[in-house]
Amino acid sequence: MATWDPASYLRFEDERSRPFFDLVARVHAHMPNQVIDLGCGPGQLTRSLADRWPGAEILGIDSSPEMIEAAGEHSSTRVRFEVGDIRQWRPTAPVDVLVSNAALQWVPGHRDLLPQLVASVAPGGWCAFQVPGNFDEPSHLILREMASDCRFAPSTSGVEWPSAFDAGTYLSDLFALGCRVDAWETSYLHVLTGPDPVFTWISGTGARPFLQALPPIQRKVFESEYKALLREAYPPQACGTVMPFRRVFVVAHKVAGSAGGPA
C-alpha cells in the first residue's frame, strides 16, 4: 500500500491550500456545532476551520497514519484528528458541516458514497467537496503512458488511478438527494519554481502510488524519463513554470426533510 509523505505534500502549501479556502467560503453555515474534514491530510487546513467557525468542534479524518501523525501538531481543545477510511466513516450523530478537500478522487466509485455522506449531514447542514479535474493534462497523460510501458507495467498495473467527474454530474447527483447545489469549476495557473517543479508537485500526490510501486532501480529510470517529458510539456517561462490545474467544486445545502440515503 502506498504511503503519504506530509513534507512532500506541503512543498506547495500555498497553491494546494487555495482551493480549500475557495470551497469553504461558499459554505454559509451559521454557528455549526460539529464540523468534519474527510481526508484532512496534514491538518493545517482543518485547524483553519476552527477560526472559520469559532463555536464548532472540528474532527479531521484521514486514512494515512503518516498524515494524522503530522496533523497532531494542529490539535487543540476543539480540533482533533483520527485515522479512518472515508468509505467506512459514520458519524455518531448527524453533523452540521462535512468538508472534503482533494480526497474523494482517491476513493473508487465515490459517487456511490454521496448518499451516505449526505445522510451523515443534519437537515439544514452542508456537504462540500473539491476534487481535481486535471486528469487529461499532460502530467497525467504522460504518467499513464509511462505506467503502461512494458518495462514498468508489471509493477504498476495493479495501482488504482484517481478519478473525478465534472461539476454538472455532481450537481445532478446531489440535487437528486434533496440538496440545493452550488457547483463550479476553476482553472488555476500555478507558477512554480525550482528544478523539475511539476514532477515535484505530482510526485507528492498523483504519481506517488506509481512511483512507490516500482523497485528502486526501475523507479530511478522512470523518474528520469518522466522528468524529461514533463520539462518538454511544461517549459520554463520568464515568470517560472506554469502548470494549469482545473478543479471541481461542489457545495450542497441539505434541505430540511431530505433523507439523502442510508447512513
Mean pLDDT of 177-186: 97
Q: Which three cell numbers stand for residue 1?
A: 500500500
262 assigned to some structural domain = no
Q: 163 φ, ψ to 5°?
A: -155, 155
Mean pLDDT of 118-136: 97
As a whole number of angstroms, the distance between CA 150 and CA 191 comes to 34
Mean pLDDT of 133-162: 95
261 assigned to some structural domain = no
Mean pLDDT of 14-24: 94
**Mean pLDDT, the chain, integer:** 93
260 assigned to some structural domain = no
Model pLDDT for residues 64-80, shown as the tens digit of each residue: 999 999 999 999 999 99
What pLDDT, on a 0 to 100 scale, did the predictor assign at position 263? 38
Domain ranges, residue 235: 6-254
What pLDDT, on a 0 to 100 scale, did the predictor assign at position 1? 56
- Say if residues 191 and 163 touch (Cβ distance below 8 Å): no
% residues pLDDT > 90 (the chain)? 88
Q: Is the pLDDT at 187 greater than 60, yes or no?
A: yes
User: Which helix (H) or strand (E) is 37 found in, with range?
Assistant: strand 34-38
Tell me how far CA of residue 253 lies from CA of 88, 111, 112, 121, 260, in angstroms: 23, 17, 19, 9, 11
What pLDDT, on a 0 to 100 scale, did the predictor assign at position 262? 43
218 assigned to some structural domain = yes
State the CATH number of the domain containing residue 207.
3.40.50.150
- By DSSP bridging, strand 121-132 and strand 241-254 are antiparallel
Domain count, the chain: 1
Q: How many CB atoms lie within 10 A of CB 87?
A: 13
What pLDDT, on a 0 to 100 scale, did the predictor assign at position 6? 65
1 assigned to some structural domain = no
Q: Is the pLDDT at 162 greater than 80, yes or no?
A: yes
Q: Is the pLDDT at 233 greater than 80, yes or no?
A: yes
162 assigned to some structural domain = yes
Mean pLDDT of 173-186: 97
User: Which helix (H) or strand (E) is 124 found in, with range?
Assistant: strand 121-132
259 assigned to some structural domain = no
- By DSSP bridging, strand 121-132 and strand 95-101 are parallel
Of residues 260 and 242, more confidently modeled: 242
Q: What is the CA radius of gyration of the chain?
A: 19
219 assigned to some structural domain = yes
Q: 156 φ, ψ to 5°?
A: -100, -10
Q: How many residues does the chain have?
A: 263
